[in-house]
Amino acid sequence: MPKPTVAIVGRPNVGKSTIFNRIVGERISIVEDIPGVTRDRIYSSGEWLNQHFNLIDTGGIEISDAPFMTQIREQAEIAIDEADVIIFMTNGREGLTTADEQVAKILYRSHKPVVVAVNKVDNPDMRENLYDFYALGFGEPVPISGSHGLGLGDLLDLVIANFPKREEQEYDEDIIKFSLIGRPNVGKSSLVNALLGEDRVIVSDIAGTTRDAIDTPYTYDGKDYVIIDTAGMRKKGKVYETTEKYSVLRALRAIERSDVVLVVINGEEGIIEQDKKIAGYAHEAGRAIVIVVNKWDAVDKDDKTMKEFEQKIRDHFLFLDYAPIVFLSAKTKRRIHTLIPKIELASENHSMRVVTTVLNDVVMDAVAMNPTPTDKGQRLKIYYATQVAIKPPTFVIFVNDPELLHFSYKRFLENRIRDAFGFEGTPIKIIARPRK
């Protein structure tokens, strides 16, 4: 079930980033007292009363000729396009401004549920300033204070009350759903077409021509799959379709619904930072992953090229050392037959269960080979390990004190588990718990 998306929209300097950080619980957004400092939409996940959602922090919307104001307005419009619910942030100290009214006009056109948050209402005397905000026409404004964290519960209650009831398409358990993610113009659509053997998805040389995730049933070798492609019709005349940031939200939606994620890289251009960012989302979401190097036909090759490129990928994507790499060309269909077996392998490992006794043998052998570390005179003791979940495989290790299981030793145990059971193509999680 895809998570609903909430966008925080408003003119500059009303405290959007502060509220964003409060809701996601981390200081992700740059917070500075200069209007327009948050120039990029920033994405994260939030949770309230067991409801999980994606959160977008937008740059402020200002209707003026300042150089990046046009971009900021476009960013806010993207967020409005993407959001299920919009938090419209205003500033209680400054009262209702013409800029707020301009923002409201843009929001009316979205026909989305809007909750008005009046920020910087730090004491009860300031509540009188609320009445002006009724004039915006979005119902009762919610007084909040980002710096003191006041009123956020009331705000989020209203937000989740407006979440849409989503009808999720149901597929059989054994049908593998896989999605293609990657920055614009790496050839995702061409790859879908090459697999399907028909031009079902629009392909164009303009980066960013595909929109909205669409599901395409696909049969290969008598087995059924669903391709979740972040593809569909292009919005005509929208400049911002080409922004690389835009591909991230598309990717997030597709990742949530996939069993296996194909991280597509352009073999001609090599790896850029954006590729890592997008792959990171799939890894964090715990999905099975296959790295696909497309446009391999366009690369000048000798007998060492593939090995060297593979090494480059391993160096750049250290966190994806478990993901198999496939080199192919969607255009000429060379090596395309190598893709589905890797998707199958990754999916199988993603839902693999390990027998508890065998798992404990592996863990105890690992400890014998490399004894547990000590910290402040205390040695980590490992009593017992068990697998508690699949998709991704998740292991709980019972110890004397979870604080003593440091990242490096956890990594060592993960490597030993991988050596013993494979798990190629899937992340695995290790959680330390105190023995009761």
**Is residue 92 part of an annotated ligand binding site?**
no
69/38 Cα distance (integer angstroms): 11
**Is residue 219 part of an annotated ligand binding site?**
no
**Is residue 372 part of an annotated ligand binding site?**
no
- Could you count the other beta carbons within 10 Å of the beta carbon of residue 346? 26
| Neighbour-count burial for 60-95, b at 16+ CB within 10 Å, e otherwise | bbbbeeeeebebbbbbbbbbbbbbbbbbbbbbbeee
**Is residue 48 part of an annotated ligand binding site?**
no
**Is residue 123 part of an annotated ligand binding site?**
no
Phi, psi of 234 (to 5 degrees): -85, 140
**Is residue 297 part of an annotated ligand binding site?**
yes
**Is residue 332 part of an annotated ligand binding site?**
no
**Is residue 124 part of an annotated ligand binding site?**
no
**Is residue 186 part of an annotated ligand binding site?**
yes
**Is residue 342 part of an annotated ligand binding site?**
no
**Is residue 183 part of an annotated ligand binding site?**
yes
DSSP string covering 311-357 = HHHHHH-GGGTTS-EEE--TTT-TTGGGHHHHHHHHHHHHT----HH
DSSP strands (E only) in 130-222: 142-143, 176-181, 214-220
**Is residue 57 part of an annotated ligand binding site?**
yes
**Is residue 352 part of an annotated ligand binding site?**
no
Q: Are 130 and 92 in contact (CB under 8 A)?
A: yes
**Is residue 129 part of an annotated ligand binding site?**
no
**Is residue 296 part of an annotated ligand binding site?**
yes
**Is residue 16 part of an annotated ligand binding site?**
yes
Q: Are 402 and 436 in contact (CB under 8 A)?
A: no
**Is residue 266 part of an annotated ligand binding site?**
no
Evaluated on CA atoms 412, 416, 422, 427, the torsion sign reads: negative
For 359, the enclosing helix (H) or strand (E) is: helix 356-369
**Is residue 162 part of an annotated ligand binding site?**
no
**Is residue 298 part of an annotated ligand binding site?**
no
**Is residue 89 part of an annotated ligand binding site?**
no
Q: Beta partners for 145?
A: 150
3-class DSSP state of 425: coil
- Could you count the other beta carbons within 10 Å of the beta carbon of residue 151? 17
**Is residue 73 part of an annotated ligand binding site?**
no
**Is residue 12 part of an annotated ligand binding site?**
yes
**Is residue 58 part of an annotated ligand binding site?**
yes
Phi, psi of 347 (to 5 degrees): -65, -40
**Is residue 373 part of an annotated ligand binding site?**
no
146/157 Cα distance (integer angstroms): 16
**Is residue 227 part of an annotated ligand binding site?**
no
**Is residue 208 part of an annotated ligand binding site?**
no
**Is residue 401 part of an annotated ligand binding site?**
no
**Is residue 338 part of an annotated ligand binding site?**
no
**Is residue 210 part of an annotated ligand binding site?**
no
Pick from 52, 113, 110: nearest CA to 85: 113
**Is residue 426 part of an annotated ligand binding site?**
no
Cis-peptide into 67, omega within 30 deg: no
269/265 Cα distance (integer angstroms): 8
**Is residue 13 part of an annotated ligand binding site?**
yes
Token pair for 145: 């204070």
Query: ∠ at Cα 330 (329, 334), nearest 5°?
Result: 45
**Is residue 388 part of an annotated ligand binding site?**
no
Return binding residues.
10-17, 57-61, 119-122, 182-189, 229-233, 294-297
Return binding residues for GTP.
10-17, 57-61, 119-122, 182-189, 229-233, 294-297
